[in-house]
Amino acid sequence: MGPDMANGAPTAPGLSFPRETFAKLTPGPFLHAHLKQQEPTRANGRSPEDFRKPTVNIGSLTHSNGSAVVRVGDTAIVCGVRAEILLASDIPHPPRDDVEDDDMIEELGLLVPNIELSTGCSPAHLPGNAPGTLAQSLSYRILSLLNASNLVSPSDLSIRYTKPQTEDGGPSEEAREVTKAYWTLYIDILCIALDGNTFDAAWAAVIAALQSTVLPKAWWDADREAILCSPLTAEAHRMQLSGLPIASTFAVFSTASPLKRLEEADSWVLADPDSFEEELCKENLTVVMGTKHAGNDGLLRLEKTGGSVIGKVAMQRCVRMAEDRWREWKGVLGGG
């Protein structure tokens, strides 16, 4: 309570401020005070290994081919998938049909994610600005992971056509299957609320949206020389995604500085940082795990930058935590 003014004589104000004031004035020592207790706790009440519980809603956008809303704590991200047709004849340098190409999706750029942070989702991201370095960097990481994880199979995105045998063609002239067009998926990711750890939530939103994506039945009409699509939902097909890659991000809070050696400083690895913690942590680690099965060893990506606290030992711990988190997401998203 504030100083007691009831009896008229002003007493010297006490040095105790409410928690929020401490957090605003000296965020670093505030977090440090929480973490250095017997049972390390974070300012948001979680323990360092606790992730926030995720919730997913799919199919809420009716005009897109697929959509999902993911909430992780106070971070909320909406993802919509729009499919458009790209004619093979419009591609200046199309891939050859007889060559089985796993990299076709990457080469033709059939998956186009774009993350939009300038929505007013946090005071740091005012609406209407061009994408800054952070937004471009996140978009690129998502694109890179989408292509490298082979989540989407090229056959789902190809519209094939079997050329009929010509009437006067000999027995050697066989029916040839060519790809007449491709589906290009524009994956728009909007952040409506940001409270740290954008990448994990955005990636989960992309997975959930792709899982719910439905592509109409499309075929090449030889007479009209165009692609036709069927409006019937019964004929539409869902995407066959392979694997379930899940991202888990960690941040490191450390009191080390050039004036204080790492061995004498205290450091904690915090799972799923919120925006308060993100501002105080310079070191970040993202672990992307996929399904472990034949041919797939489990880890798809490790990204660590910003400091030197996480070494081999801490990495092992983080990978274990990422495995638990993978199971948690699998329960929510299914698939895998």
Partner 1 sequence: MGPDISHHPLAGADGSATISSNLYSVLAAVNGPIEVQRRDELPEEAAIEVNIRPASGVGGPRERWLESVVTAVLRSVLLVHMHPRTLIQVTLQLTTGPTLKLKNATRDISVLPSLVNAAFLALVDGGLPLQSTVTAVLLAVSGEEVISIDPAEKELAGCKSVHALAYTQHGDLLLNESAGNFNLEVWEEVADRAEKACVAAVALASEDDEMANGTAEAAPWLRRELEEKARDAVAWRDHT
Partner 2 sequence: MPHQPAPSTNEQAFLLSALRENIRLDARPLDAYRPIDLSFPGGPDEYGTADVRIGKTRVLAKISAEVVAPYADRKFEGVFTIACELSPMASAAWEVGRQDQAEILLSRLLEKTIRRSGALDTESLCIVAGAKCFHIRADIHVLDHDGNLVDAACLALIAALLHFRRPDVEIHGEEVTVFPLREREPVKLSMQHQPFCITTSYFDGGLIMLQDATRLEEACREGEVVVSMNRFGEVCSMAKYGGAPVDGLGLLACTKAALEKVKMLDRLVRERLAEDEKRRDKGGLMKELRAENER
Residues that bind partner 1 (CB under 8 A): 103, 106, 133-134, 136-137, 139-141, 143-144, 147-148, 257-259, 262, 282, 284, 295-308, 310-312, 315-316, 319
Query: According to CB under 8 A, which one of 90, 103, 235, 266 is a site residue for partner 2?
Result: 90
Under a CB-based contact definition with an 8 Å cutoff, are residues 78 and 189 in contact?
yes
Token pair, residue 173, equals 């002239």
The residue ranges of DSSP E strands in the chain, in sequence order, are 54-58, 66-72, 75-87, 111-116, 158-163, 176-193, 214-215, 218-221, 226-229, 237-238, 246-254, 267-271, 283-289, 299-305
The entry of partner 1, partner 2, none that residue 296 binds, CB within 5 to 8 Å by partner kind: partner 1
Is the Cβ of residue 18 or residue 295 nearer to partner 1 in the bound state? Answer: 295
75-87 and 214-215 strand pairing: unpaired
Token pair, residue 137, equals 């960097």
Contacts of residues 121-125 at CB distance under 8 Å and 24 or more positions apart, as own/partner, are 121/191, 121/192, 121/193, 121/194, 122/193, 122/194, 122/195, 122/275, 124/194, 125/191, 125/194
The entry of partner 2, partner 1, none that residue 172 binds, CB within 5 to 8 Å by partner kind: none
Is the Cβ of residue 26 or residue 308 nearer to partner 1 in the bound state? Answer: 308
The entry of partner 1, partner 2, none that residue 304 binds, CB within 5 to 8 Å by partner kind: partner 1
Of 20-28, 36-44, 89-97, 145-153, the segment contacting partner 2 by CB under 8 A is 89-97
Query: According to CB under 8 A, which one of 2, 13, 92, 128 is a site residue for partner 2?
Result: 92
> What is the C-alpha to C-alpha distance for residues 97 and 129, in angstroms, rounded to an integer?
42
Q: How far is the CB of 288 from partner 1 (least distance, A)?
A: 9
Q: How far is the CB of 69 from partner 1 (least distance, A)?
A: 24
**How distant is the alpha carbon of residue 76 from its chain centre?**
12
Is there binding between residue 133 and partner 2 (CB under 8 A)?
no
Q: How far is the CB of 177 from partner 2 (least distance, A)?
A: 17
Q: What is the contact surface with partner 2 in residues (CB under 8 A)?
A: 90, 92-93
